[in-house]
Structure 1
Amino acid sequence: MSPTRRTTRRPWARRRLPGAAALALLVASGTACSNQAIDQWSRGGMPEGVTKQADIVQTLWNGSWIAALATGVVVWGLILWACIFHRKKKNSPDQLPPQVRYNLPIEILYTVVPVIMVAVFFYFTARDETEITRITKAAPVKVAVEGYQWSWRFTTEYQGQKAVVAGVPVDLSKQSAENPQGPQLVLPVNTQVQFDLHSPDVIHSFWVPAFLFKQDVFPGNVHNHFQITTLNKTGVFVGRCAELCGTDHSKMLFSVKLVPQAEFDQYIKSQAGSAQ
């Protein structure tokens, strides 16, 4: 092969490489988006949970959807069956189908089956709610949550040390998933945490979507608490007030940051004097 031909083919090879790289990147990004969509569908539209209790809620949610869809398939099938096989005949448009005054087996069926379904839903809901709201004395981290018009104060207590973080109504124009506004609550992963909720003014609601759980914050209620067990998932997760509480309700934003245990220990030591 002559030197001239070799030099004329090299530019084509150089042009094919960027094109192949772009195609590979497009396929990879499409696969990632597809995996995210499948993962979102598998959760029934719920956010990814970061606590042990969130897994319980997710299982109950998925089971409820499966039961509802199964019921819907049966109902839709009966409707279609009645429309197709019991429609008015063309050769005898004036003839009515047989008129039945009552059918005892069918009446028993559509009375007993819904009662059984409601009982099953009640059992699983009560069982999971009991587990989610169960309080033990083993939580090493305790957080006093004070919701006030219109922000939050978090007092974290761990091994005799305290860290206090308080906020003011946030500037919504600066709020973003990458830069959440408001006070930030720092918690360790793989740890049991107890929340004690209180309000000095009106009813608020402490809600972190990634917990798949929220609880109202009542003024004067000193027995309003719950516990979570964080999973091994670090990151920053937004939270907000879920109870309309006044003019700046929409500005009651905060975030929860889950960090490794060593980083949490360092955070507590550095913030030990903030309680004062």
Structure 2
Amino acid sequence: MGLQLPQPTAKRAAAPMRRLATGALIAATLLFLSACDAADKDQIARLAMPIPATEQAPHTFELWKWSWVAAMVTGVIVWGLIFYAVVKFRRRSDDEIPVQTRYNLPLEIFYTIAPIMMVIVFFYWTVNVQNKMIAIDPEPDVTIEVVGQQWQWTFNHGVGEPTGPATPNYTDNEYRYDDYVYVVGDGDTIPTLWLPVDQTIQFNLHSPDVIHDFGVPSFLMKMDVVPGRINRFQATPTKIGEYVGKCFELCGVDHSRMLFNVKVVSQADYDAYLADLAEQGAESDTPLLGGANARTQAGLDDESEGGQE
């Protein structure tokens, strides 16, 4: 009777393939990380969020960050249970197929109650952050009347001493300043919104036509600009620099033109900028509520096309 060698099992044969797959995954991960420059790594650390540039922005950033943490913890638990079930309860040669209609009451209660509790927690913190982001100081340092029109922006800066508090229920005929200077964008010009650093700025949002959405990514804040009503929010820029803004609402065929720049400067530079606008004749006793490309919807304004003179 001859010597019999042990035959390789399927498990032994699959081991080299598993090692090869694991090595390939590690190599791909290291290659991906090595290809990231400092800016990419910084973006990954901030979970693709811009660097907060206002006093209010960190509230949004913290909500975003901890939402990711909660999602990852949930994912790890779910993946762990899936892999545990795959390994622990894998079918063996002598196994019988278990009863498929049997239930597990504690498990069903858990996966019903746990998601509800998660939604409640997320809802609470979302509302809490929302309240902080839209809180209104009755005495802001600067008030800017922002107009989103088809398809560009008009920025009206109040100049001089305010005539009263920034009341939350004022109308288009009740403004906080007696005089304004403005900058208007058009199809050929992207306007720049100048803001003073470390000052509380209130943005009053107007639209003469359709719904737009005013937002600056670095401020981690955006708000709808709705015809027939005045939405408002406040921001306190904390970093001198240049930023970009845009319309976040698909508002029409030239929505892509609704871009603007933001320049946060010192108070002295801001005052000089307002004086320069006044010297150029870009001043009015009431804000312009529609710029060069504004087209008003019937019933919302007396003018069928064009802005306020």
Q: Normalization by structure 1: what TM-score? A: 0.79
CA shift, 1:34, in A, is: 4.1
CA shift, 1:104, in A, is: 2.1
- Give 1:234's aligned residue: 240
CA shift, 1:270, in A, is: 2.6
Q: Does structure 1 residue 263 correspond to structure 2 residue 281? A: no
- Give 1:113's aligned residue: 114
In 2, Cα distance between equivalents of 1:262 and 1:138 = 21
CA shift, 1:151, in A, is: 0.7
CA shift, 1:39, in A, is: 2.1
- Give 1:7's aligned residue: none
| 1:5-33 deviation line (CA, Å, top 9, x unaligned) | xxxxxxxxxxxxxxxxxxxxxxxxxx9x7
In 1, Cα distance between equivalents of 2:274 and 2:242 = 17
- Give 1:244's aligned residue: 250
- Aligned pair count? 231
CA shift, 1:163, in A, is: 2.3
For the aligned residues, what is the CA RMSD? 1.9
Helix, strand or coil for the counterpart of 1:52? coil
| 1:98-147 deviation line (CA, Å, top 9, x unaligned) | 66722222122112211111111011001000110111212110110011
Helix, strand or coil for the counterpart of 2:282? helix
In 1, Cα distance between equivalents of 2:159 and 2:103 = 68
- Give 1:43's aligned residue: 46
CA shift, 1:78, in A, is: 0.3
Q: Does structure 1 residue 88 correspond to structure 2 residue 91? A: yes
In 1, Cα distance between equivalents of 2:114 and 2:48 = 29
In 2, Cα distance between equivalents of 1:144 and 1:115 = 42
Given residue 201 of structure 2, which amino acid in structure 1 is its aligned partner? Answer: V
- Give 1:184's aligned residue: 192
Q: Which consecutive residues of structure 2, in runs of 5 or more, have no partner in the other structure?
A: 1-33, 162-178, 285-309
Distance 1:100 1:201, change over 3 A: closer
Q: Does structure 1 residue 195 correspond to structure 2 residue 195? A: no
Helix, strand or coil for the counterpart of 2:249? coil
Structure 1 segment 126-165 matched on structure 2, within 5 A: 126-160=127-161, 162-165=180-183
Q: Which consecutive residues of structure 1, in runs of 5 or more, have no partner in the other structure?
A: 1-30, 171-180
Q: Normalization by structure 2: what TM-score? A: 0.70
Following TM superposition, the consecutive aligned residue runs of length 4 or more in structure 1 with deviations greater than 4 angstroms are none
Helix, strand or coil for the counterpart of 2:187? coil
CA shift, 1:269, in A, is: 2.5
Which protein is richer in helix relative to its size?
1
Q: Is the 8 A contact 1:162 1:271 kept in 2?
A: no
